[in-house]
Every structure is written in C-alpha cells, then in structure tokens.
Amino acid sequence: MATAITDTPLRRLRRLPWRQALCLVPLGAVAVWVALHWPVIADGARRLLTADRYWLLAAVAVTGLGWVAVSFARQGAVLERLPAGRLLATQFAAGAANHVLPSGLGAGAVNLRFLRGCGLPPARSSAALALYLLAEAAGRVLLLLALLAGFPHALRLGGLVDGGAGARIAATAGLVALALALTVFVVPPLRRLVLGFLRTALADARSVHRRPARVLALWGGSLAFPALQAAGLVAVSAALDLPVPMAHVAVAYLAASVLAAAIPAPGGIGSVDAALVVALVTAGAPVTGATSAVLAYRIITVWLPLLPGALVLGALVRWKVV
C-alpha cells in the first residue's frame, strides 16, 4: 500500500515553475533597494511638493522619450527588424534591471536575452550590444564637447576631479587594459574567442552602416538619449528655480555622467549623484540647491519607474520575451 505524501508548502514551492519564480526576483530587488534608500527618497519627495509642476511634467515627458530613443538605437545596432512594442517594453524593463546590477550589466543581460529571443545567435547579439554601447558613449562625449565649444565657461572641469586623481584614474585604467590585453594574448582559447567576437562585431558594424535607416536609428538614438537625460535635469532645475543657466546644467550633467561611467555602481547610483552635485556646484549652483535638484531628478528618472519597470520585467520573463 502506497504511503500518502503530505503536500507541504516546501513541496509546492519546488513545483513552482522557474519562470514564475524569476518574476518575483525584480520585485524583491526593488523592495530591498527602496528600503536601503528610503531616507533619500522621502527627502527628495518632500522637495518635489514645492516645485513647479509644469517643469516636472516636462521632466517626466523627456524621461519617457528617453526609452524611445534607446529603442531606436538598439534597433539601429542590428540588421533584422525587431518587434517595436516588445523592444520598447524591454528598454523600460531594462532600466529597472540596470539599477540593481553595476555598470549597465542588468540592462545588457535583459537586452541580450531579448535579442536571443528574436532569433539572433549569441555572437551577433553580443556584437549588437557592444556596438550600441560604443555609439551611446561616443554620442555622450560628442554632445559634451559640442556644448563646451559653445559654452566654454559653463563648467570648471577641474572641479570634478583634481589632476592627481585624474592621473591615478588614467593610470589604473591603462594598467587594467594592459592586463586584459596580455591575458587575451597568452591564453589561446580566450584569444580565439575574442578574435572571433571582434570579427563578428566588425562585420555587423560594416553591414549596419551600409543601411542609412540603421545609421540614422543608431546614431540618432545614441545622441538623443543623453540629450534627453540632460534635458530632464534642466527641467528639474527649472522647477526648483536653480540659479544656473540651462545650458550650464546640461553641460554639468554630461560631464558628470561621462566621469561617473567609469565607477561601477548600480545604475550609477551614488557615483552619478555625487558627480552631479559637484558638477552643478562648479556650474554656479548652491550646494543645497544642487542636492535638491539631483534628488528630485533621481526620483523622476529612477525611483518612480522602478516598480513599474520591475513589473514589466517580470511579465516579459513570464511571457518568454527575455
């Protein structure tokens, strides 16, 4: 006679499909993140209550347009036509993942899964991600240089980092690059893997740049995304009556984001915040005003979309989009 096995909660948990379990991971990560940053969130929310609502709505609008710009850039990095609705939803969800893992790893992982689901092989998916990252970084630097050319006194870049610290950062980056290059050179399997990836990436980049529509999407989106991010900070600064010209605020944002990109913090949280405050102060803002503007900007661009983004990410995982 067979012995009846009690259906315990642990056994029911083991039978839970792994994709349904994964849907709960983004929500748990958001809950932990919000709990750790709650004093900052509450302080920023109080400051937003006294800000100009129309400028805040403008900041929300350009934040939403930023996901559209990223979608265009992602489409421009591949030859195949991607499903527009799922592509936009993936970028919104990737924003939530990006604020959990450092250095853009969350967004990169989500987009790699999305491209694989669209039928691209691993090598081409990775090549598309690398091309997008290169174009986005180049677009950010080009915008910064263009604004500095038009407003050369907008920012004292030396205020962001002193010469000694800058030299140490450059030397560290050079040593890391040299160590990676030597590792690739002396390990044959790794060398073959890297050379194969480079061949695929270069071939895809040449193919993409032979199609004007893809070039426009890739570089237009890569320039529009940081421009919209800077416009969001400009709108928040205007909402809080920050006594700094709008162009100077945009320069401060681009300079701070370029500098903070080298610091591996989740979503740039902490590194970008500190750099933004310093950049706004060097542009002429008082310390309290700069801090308020950065807190309000973070609420609009990070904290408000975080929970909806996590819900969308969970849904995309469940529907096997990513």
pLDDT tens, N- to C-terminus, the chain (322 residues): 444 445 555 455 455 555 556 566 666 665 776 677 677 667 667 777 888 999 999 999 999 999 999 999 999 999 999 999 999 999 999 988 887 666 567 889 999 999 999 999 998 999 999 999 999 999 999 999 999 999 988 876 555 555 555 566 567 767 777 787 788 778 888 888 888 888 999 999 999 999 999 999 999 999 999 999 999 999 999 999 999 999 999 999 998 888 777 665 555 555 677 788 888 888 888 888 888 888 889 889 988 898 899 889 989 988 989 8
Domain for residue 151, yes or no? yes
Q: Could you give phi then psi for residue 102, rounded to 5 degrees?
A: -80, 160
Domain for residue 7, yes or no? no
Count up the domains in the chain and report the number: 1
Domain for residue 171, yes or no? yes
Structural domain boundaries enclosing 241: 21-28+50-318
Domain for residue 10, yes or no? no
Domain for residue 131, yes or no? yes
Domain for residue 35, yes or no? no
Q: What share of the chain is helix, strand, coil (3-state, %, to 5)?
A: 80, 0, 20
Domain for residue 108, yes or no? yes
Domain for residue 9, yes or no? no
> What is the reported pTM?
0.82
